[in-house]
Amino acid sequence: MQRYFGPEGLLSTKIPSFEFRASQLEMAQAICACLSGEAPLLVEAGTGTGKTWAYLIPAILSGKKVIVSTGTKTLQDQILDHDIPLLKRLIAPRLQAVCLKGRKNYLCRRRFKDFTYQPNFWNREEAKSFRRFQNWATRTKTGDRSEIPWLPDHYQFWNEVSSSSDQCLGQKCEEHPNCFLNRIRNEASRADLVVVNHHLFFADLALRKKGAGVLPPYDAVIFDEAHQLEDIVGVYFGLQFSNLRISELVRDLDKLCQKELKNASNLQAIRNIARQLEVLGRQLHHHFHRLHKSQGRHLLDLERVGQEFMAISKQAIGALEQLGALLSPSAEQHPVCELLINRSLESASAIQELLEQHNASLVYWYEVNQHTVFLHGTPVQIDAILQEEIFAKTPASVFTSATLSVGGSFSFLRDDLGIPAESKEEILCSPFCFETQALLYIPRDFPEPQDPRFCTQLAREALEILMKSQGRALLLFTSYRNMNEVHEKLRDHLPFPVLMQGQKPKRVLLGEFKEKVDSVLLATSSFWQGVDVPGEALSCLLIDKLPFEVPDDPLIAARMEHLSKQGKNPFFHYQVPRAIIQLKQGVGRLIRSSQDRGVIGIFDVRLLTKSYGQTFLKSLPPCRVVHEREQIGAFFSRGTAQ
């Protein structure tokens, strides 16, 4: 690794902008040892370490088939489009690397052809852009949606033409030889390096337990942004059902009736079942919506949700099973029928399990939105899953992120993910000089977060600070309520452009924030991670309070109860570590390069008054801490912290 990352190494001599970083070399050496050994590795690499190359180069040189699993599709694309081409030119001209995404990211040729013959648009805007989409669809070599950034996330017709597992005919499809998804999976089977995201990786692990799977066999796996794993694993090793699933089934059933089954003798019986399912789907949502009158997550307590839910569910099971029986005679002649039968029976099975709740390792809960209700059974603990599916089968596994440790220790992550005792660990500090590049402001005399005066005082403080920073600020909130209240109090008093999450799509807001250097952006949870705004546009980061999760969230409550039964304090063993990792992510938005400078403001006096406050502060980058607002002005006016 010295040969590549050292002061006189290949990267330093071949890339003019490359800077030697001791922490990057250390990380590469540790990963190299992990990939050639039999023990997992935990690496916390501070911002600016250059961790992507620190794991890519050892992976490329290892001679093993390596999976790199990232937190986002954006990072996947960056690795394949920017990092891999450069590294191929420098060190591995014969390297075969593939970026593999979930199937819904790829165009399905058969579904696109069907949709073109009989298009069904949700609005005029979608219809207008379809000609442009058709031009792309007939020319694309990959079918990857990321090639068309102009297509908004909310366009519904993509769902009608993408490679959904529910509509895939496999080898029975007339387009099977030309299928984009098959082509990229075949490339992945031959590749040395396969780049995926966490959702696809764990979806594949869950499918393998059922005898299927989409990823090729591999020798090692590297998880980037590994702090996200707990929340993602549970999604794929539990169960899910929703009224949306019923709606999609009914819609596909209608298409089948109009096309393949229009002459079937039992057509009317099938249509009657479809209408019944449509009504039951609406009733399911209305029932849960009436229970709460608002959106949110709740425990699926069968006594509390009442007999109406039980009745709707049992009717749905009966209708789904009846639908499967009605479609069976046509399955051999029409492959789509077989797909619908499988979907019907799988849905009936999921509802039955949600009614019985016999699996003690799952917590059963539901989430109500404006038009949908999602019912879940989620594992309370994931450590046993990872021990069985990863550590026992792929001991050469790397877990890395800028935010893995709590107070300088990996103990929370080890317990949470079930990481073996023999694993190695490294905490590598950022090469940035936070002592001079950043200032951390925590006001002493301030209302506590639950005080009714909190948002009013926060808006006053923010106004004073934003005038000193000349805008150029990101305000991160732990709730929409706080964000909306502070926005209401600030927007008419700032002489800068004021942007807020929800006004426009995230990527549009970030583009505008970067372009309008003096702008101020207010945002909540999704902006705490993955936001990269180096330079002057982000010179001030204000955080309303410590990001503790709501303790009555059904999944959080179940995990805390599990810890209590083990004799542990759930607040200190779970809530505090999770909040620290989230706060570290938020604070990490500010300093993104060695030239960046700025102020971090956290308006939560518990950092100073509670015993756990010191653990939070110990976990943050080593900034100078101040308590007087005047010192912020001095920082901005003098160019360096005094």
Q: In this model, does residue 557 exceed pLDDT 80?
A: yes
Per-residue pLDDT tens for 201-253?
999 999 988 778 889 999 999 999 999 999 999 999 999 999 999 999 999 99
Of 289, 280, 479, 281, which Cα lies nearest the Cα of 366?
A: 289
Distances (CA, A) of 597 to 472, 510, 593, 617: 11, 19, 9, 19
Query: For residue 375, what are the β-bridge partners?
Result: 241, 366
Query: For residue 373, what are the β-bridge partners?
Result: 368
Contact 539, 466 (CB under 8 A): no
Per-residue pLDDT tens for 5-34?
999 999 999 998 899 999 999 999 999 999
DSSP-assigned letter for residue 548: P
In whole angstroms, give the CA distance from residue 476 to residue 542. Answer: 6
Per-residue pLDDT tens for 522-542?
999 889 988 889 889 999 999
DSSP-assigned letter for residue 451: S
Of residues 57 and 123, the one with the higher pLDDT is 57
- What's the confidence (pLDDT) of residue 640? 43
Q: What does the pLDDT average to over 424-430?
A: 95
Per-residue pLDDT tens for 248-260?
999 999 988 888 8
Range 238-379 classified under CATH 1.10.275.40: yes
Q: How many CB atoms are located within 10 Å of the residue 31 CB? A: 27
In whole angstroms, give the CA distance from residue 188 to residue 612. Answer: 46
> For the purposes of burial, counting CB atoms within 10 Å of the CB of 276, is it exposed (0-12), middle (13-18) or buried (19 or more)?
middle
Share of the chain above pLDDT 70, in %: 99
Residue with token string 């099975």: 349
In whole angstroms, give the CA distance from residue 108 to residue 158. Answer: 10
Would you say how long the chain is, in residues? Answer: 642
Confidence band of 639 (pLDDT split at 50, 70, 90) = low
Per-residue pLDDT tens for 487-530?
999 999 999 999 999 898 888 899 999 999 999 999 998 899 88
* CA of residue 619 relative to chain centroid, distance: 23
Structural Rg of the chain based on CA atoms = 26
Give me 215's structure tokens.
């990823």
Question: Across all residues in the chain, what is the average pLDDT?
Answer: 93
Contact 232, 199 (CB under 8 A): yes
- What's the confidence (pLDDT) of residue 581? 97
Q: What does the pLDDT average to over 580-597?
A: 94
Number of H helices, E strands in the chain: 28, 18
In whole angstroms, give the CA distance from residue 103 to residue 165. Answer: 7
- What's the confidence (pLDDT) of residue 120? 78
- What's the confidence (pLDDT) of residue 17? 86
Q: In this model, does residue 124 exceed pLDDT 90?
A: no
Per-residue pLDDT tens for 150-206?
887 778 889 889 998 888 888 889 999 999 999 999 999 999 999 999 999 999 999
Backbone angles phi, psi at 119, to 5 degrees: -70, 150
Across the beta sheet with 473-476, the strand order is 498-500, 520-523, 473-476, 540-543, 598-602, 438-441, 624-626
Confidence band of 642 (pLDDT split at 50, 70, 90) = very low
CATH architecture of 24-96+191-235+382-428: 3-Layer(aba) Sandwich (3.40)
Fold (CATH) for 434-638? Rossmann fold (3.40.50)
Q: In this model, does residue 149 exceed pLDDT 90?
A: no
Q: What does the pLDDT average to over 52-63?
A: 97
Q: In this model, does residue 641 exceed pLDDT 50?
A: no
Q: What angle do CA 627, 630, 632 make, to 5 degrees?
A: 75
Residue ranges per structural domain of the chain:
24-96+191-235+382-428, 104-180, 238-379, 434-638
Intrachain domains 24-96+191-235+382-428 and 434-638 with the same fold:
yes
End-to-end CA distance of the chain: 39
Contact 474, 538 (CB under 8 A): yes
Backbone angles phi, psi at 640, to 5 degrees: -140, 155
- What's the confidence (pLDDT) of residue 201? 96
What would the DSSP string read from start to end of 527-542? GSSS----STT--EEE
